[in-house]
């Protein structure tokens, strides 16, 4: 005879299910920014990386495995709710396989740190207000035989608390162009002009953001030319590569660099004027070409109270102090010599100062600059190019 079913059956054990609640999935995707949370991956998981087809290509991984015998699943830290958001990571297929195949290397603590760091970064980026956005302008050209490169991570650190609107920005890469002739200089100038014209096009990123961050490494004459094309209608920050720290972040200092502008030789012709910029290195009259003869009035802008040094430029105030002295020097020249057609310039300066030398020229007021560059093989300066302000 069968026993009648009990009116009070024993409670069944609670079995975990893999179905993650929709709200938890949504919160995880938002916190991860739709990107792989494995440290250094950051792959965007809502489009195919080759075809760019939109879709959900993400995998939701458990830090402590769903099953106790799974990766990192049998420790004392097993959460009561295995599907709680703090135990979930958004990963690409490759990274999911990597962490589960190597649980001894990718421990619970390691993955929690990856998750926390990634989600903190996404929260910071998405919390930025529009006025903290900036457009990156990156100029690179080889200096002699020396190849140059500016790492994105160093630029990201330098512009903080601003943040780039995009990773690419405007890149003017002339490193494949061997600049050693009039023709190559002309090609370089055409490339720079085309890129800058595109930068300021109506509706472009720079116009939308209203802020520009400029990083440049290359021959000084080309940097000066670049400066003449930059608009003074958009707020612009310039950055310097610091040799000691090997980064681009401006330093903090209570000691400002001071500059002096002075006449070092009176010439016989008021219309013949040359300016020496002795900042990164010392320039003497013996370094100048023979055509800068006794008819030329010679001026010098140099450091006040210290010898020229490649590492002198450390803070944004140092750069601003140069700008003020440079403008004052140009005004003094105009006051003494009247309207000049051209001004011969012999620079030994850091990159951001070279760019400022071009950008600070006033259209229809200042003369065109005839820019020279030091040639080690000939131990002296040679004329490179003529620049003037385009009135941007």
Give per-residue pLDDT as tens, 263-287.
999 999 999 999 999 999 999 888 8
pLDDT reported for residue 376: 72
Burial code of 270-301, b = ≥16 C-beta within 10 A, e = fewer? Answer: eebbbbbbbbbeebeeebbeeebeeebbbbbb
Using only the alpha carbons of the chain, give its radius of gyration: 30
pLDDT-flagged residues of the chain (< 70): 1-18, 128-130, 202-207, 209, 377-378, 389-392
pLDDT reported for residue 204: 65
Task: Look at the alpha carbons of 316, 319, 323, 325 in this order and tell me if their dihedral is positive or negative.
Answer: positive
Listed residue (295, 290, 289) closest to 272, CA to CA: 295
Task: Look at the alpha carbons of 259, 264, 266, 271 in this order and tell me if their dihedral is positive or negative.
Answer: negative
Query: What burial class does residue 325 get, using C-beta atoms within 10 Å of its C-beta: 0-12 exposed, 13-18 middle, 19+ buried?
Result: middle
pLDDT reported for residue 203: 67
pLDDT reported for residue 13: 39
pLDDT reported for residue 103: 92
pTM of this prediction exceeds 0.75: no
Listed residue (124, 136, 203, 195) closest to 167, CA to CA: 136
Q: Are 32 and 41 in contact (CB under 8 A)?
A: no
């Amino acid at each position: 005879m069968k026993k009648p079913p009990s009116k009070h059956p024993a409670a069944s054990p609670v079995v975990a299910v893999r179905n993650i609640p929709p709200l938890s999935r949504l919160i995880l995707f938002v916190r991860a920014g739709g990107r792989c949370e494995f440290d250094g991956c950051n792959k965007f998981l809502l489009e195919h990386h080759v075809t760019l087809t939109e879709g959900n290509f993400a995998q939701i991984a458990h830090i402590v495995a769903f099953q106790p015998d799974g990766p990192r699943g049998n420790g004392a830290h097993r959460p009561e709710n295995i599907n709680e958001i703090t135990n979930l990571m958004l990963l690409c297929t490759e990274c999911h396989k990597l962490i589960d195949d190597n649980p001894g290397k990718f421990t619970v603590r390691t993955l929690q740190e990856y998750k926390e760091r990634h989600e903190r970064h996404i929260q910071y980026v998405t919390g930025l207000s529009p006025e903290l956005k900036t457009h990156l302008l990156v100029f690179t050209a080889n200096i002699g035989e020396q190849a140059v490169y500016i790492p994105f991570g160093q630029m990201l650190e330098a512009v903080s608390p601003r943040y780039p609107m995009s990773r690419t920005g405007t890149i003017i890469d002339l490193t494949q162009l061997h600049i050693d002739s009039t023709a190559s200089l002309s090609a370089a100038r055409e490339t720079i002009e085309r890129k800058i014209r595109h930068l300021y096009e109506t509706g472009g990123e720079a116009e939308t953001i209203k802020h520009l961050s400029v990083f440049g490494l290359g021959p000084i004459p080309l940097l000066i030319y670049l400066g003449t094309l930059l608009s003074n209608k958009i707020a612009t920050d310039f950055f310097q590569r610091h040799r000691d720290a090997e980064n681009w972040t401006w330093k903090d200092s209570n000691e400002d660099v001071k500059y002096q502008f002075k006449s070092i030789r009176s010439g016989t012709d008021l219309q013949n004027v040359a300016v020496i910029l002795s900042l990164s290195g010392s320039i003497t009259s013996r370094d100048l070409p023979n055509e800068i003869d006794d008819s030329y009035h010679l001026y010098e802008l140099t450091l006040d109270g210290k010898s020229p040094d490649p590492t002198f430029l450390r803070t944004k105030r140092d750069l601003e102090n140069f700008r003020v002295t440079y403008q004052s020097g140009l005004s003094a020249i105009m006051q003494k010599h009247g309207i000049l057609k051209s001004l011969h310039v012999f620079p030994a300066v850091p990159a951001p100062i070279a760019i400022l030398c071009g950008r600070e020229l006033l259209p229809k007021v200042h003369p065109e600059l005839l820019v020279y560059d030091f040639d080690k093989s000939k131990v002296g300066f040679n004329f490179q190019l003529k620049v003037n302000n385009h009135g941007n």
